[in-house]
């Protein structure tokens, strides 16, 4: 995974030996750290999670984390990057596509909402952390703003009016999957899951674009 938001990377290499056998199904120790941090940050919060807790969840020494990430903030930067990097790459490519704007927007929305709804951990919820307002997360915020602007540009083209305020809604409808996942984790979606609602969210965006009253 390539970090777009400038996280400081510690030197690469083998690191120190593990305390126990790997606890997580991941391609590398770095990915195991990210997986453990994702679980802990989304379940108990960023502030309440220490690097020692992350290390224990992975089965490595705490000092080994700093071989891959200079700070706990850098772990969060890398996790946030996973939520915006692929959607932004797709969004940029769709801007250059010559298909109707509505089709391009719906393709983007379906890909994005599926990622948010069906990824292992509800990483989209990390957007809401107060720490994300700090300067160390500025590049992530810039990337997310660019993604939102592409959504709005495609929506305005589909609506045929650059001043139509409905252009702001598709991005927010996509991000509703984040809150739905939270409801799902609390058992408040009854028999539904956030993944079950992907078609519903994309359909709502489609209806919004078709309604020209």
Render 44-112 in DSSP notation, one character per residue: H-STT--HHHHHHHHTS-HHHHHHHBSSHHHHHHHHHHHHHHHHHHHHHHHHT--S-HHHHHHHHHHHH
For residue 16, is pLDDT > 50?
Answer: no
pLDDT for 202 equals: 96
Is a pLDDT exceeding 60 seen at residue 8? no
Which is higher by pLDDT, 2 or 203?
203
More confident: 196 or 75: 75
Chain region(s) in the chain for CATH 1.10.10.60: 7-70
Instruction: Kindly report, as residue ranges, where domains of CATH 1.10.357 are found in the chain.
Output: 80-210
Confidence at residue 17, expressed as pLDDT on a 0 to 100 scale: 47
pLDDT of residue 6: 46
Return mean pLDDT, the chain. Answer: 87
Instruction: Using a pLDDT cut of 90, give the percent of the chain over it.
Output: 71
Do 54 and 44 meet the contact criterion of CB atoms below 8 Å apart? no
73 has a pLDDT exceeding 60: yes
pLDDT score recorded for residue 21: 53
Contact 46, 76 (CB under 8 A): yes
pLDDT at residue 27, as a whole number: 62
Please answer whether residues 159 and 209 qualify as being in contact, where contact means their C-beta atoms are separated by less than 8 angstroms. Answer: yes
Residues 6+ apart with CB under 8 A from 64: 15, 16, 18, 29, 55
* Rounded Cα gap, residues 21 and 170, in angstroms: 45
Q: What is the pLDDT of residue 189?
A: 73
The dihedrals phi and psi of 189, each to the nearest 5 degrees, come to -100, 15
CATH fold label, 80-210: Tetracycline Repressor; domain 2 (1.10.357)
Cα gap 102→147, rounded to integer Å: 16
CATH level 3 topology of 7-70 = Arc Repressor Mutant, subunit A (1.10.10)
pLDDT exceeds cutoff 80 at 90: yes
| Tens-digit pLDDT profile for residues 29-55 | 899 999 999 999 999 999 999 999 999
């Amino acid at each position: 995974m390539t970090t777009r938001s400038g996280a400081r990377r510690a030197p690469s290499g083998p690191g120190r030996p593990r305390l126990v056998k790997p606890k997580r199904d991941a391609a590398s120790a770095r990915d195991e750290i990210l997986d453990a941090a994702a679980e802990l940050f989304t379940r108990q919060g960023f502030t309440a999670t220490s690097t020692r807790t992350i290390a224990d969840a992975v089965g490595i020494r705490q000092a080994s984390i700093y071989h891959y990430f200079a700070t706990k903030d850098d772990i969060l930067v890398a996790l946030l990057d996973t939520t915006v990097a692929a959607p932004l790459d797709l969004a940029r490519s769709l801007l250059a596509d010559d298909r109707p704007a509505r089709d391009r927007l719906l393709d983007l929305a379906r890909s994005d909402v599926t990622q948010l709804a069906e990824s292992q951990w509800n990483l989209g919820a990390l957007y809401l952390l107060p720490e994300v307002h700090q300067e160390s997360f500025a590049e992530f915020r810039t990337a997310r703003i660019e993604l939102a602007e592409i959504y709005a540009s495609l929506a305005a083209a589909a609506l045929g009016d650059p001043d139509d305020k409905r252009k702001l809604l598709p991005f927010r409808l996509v991000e509703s999957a984040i809150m739905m996942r939270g409801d799902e984790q609390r058992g408040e979606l009854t028999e539904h899951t956030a993944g079950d609602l992907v078609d519903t969210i994309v359909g709502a965006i489609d209806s919004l674009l078709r309604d020209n009253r």
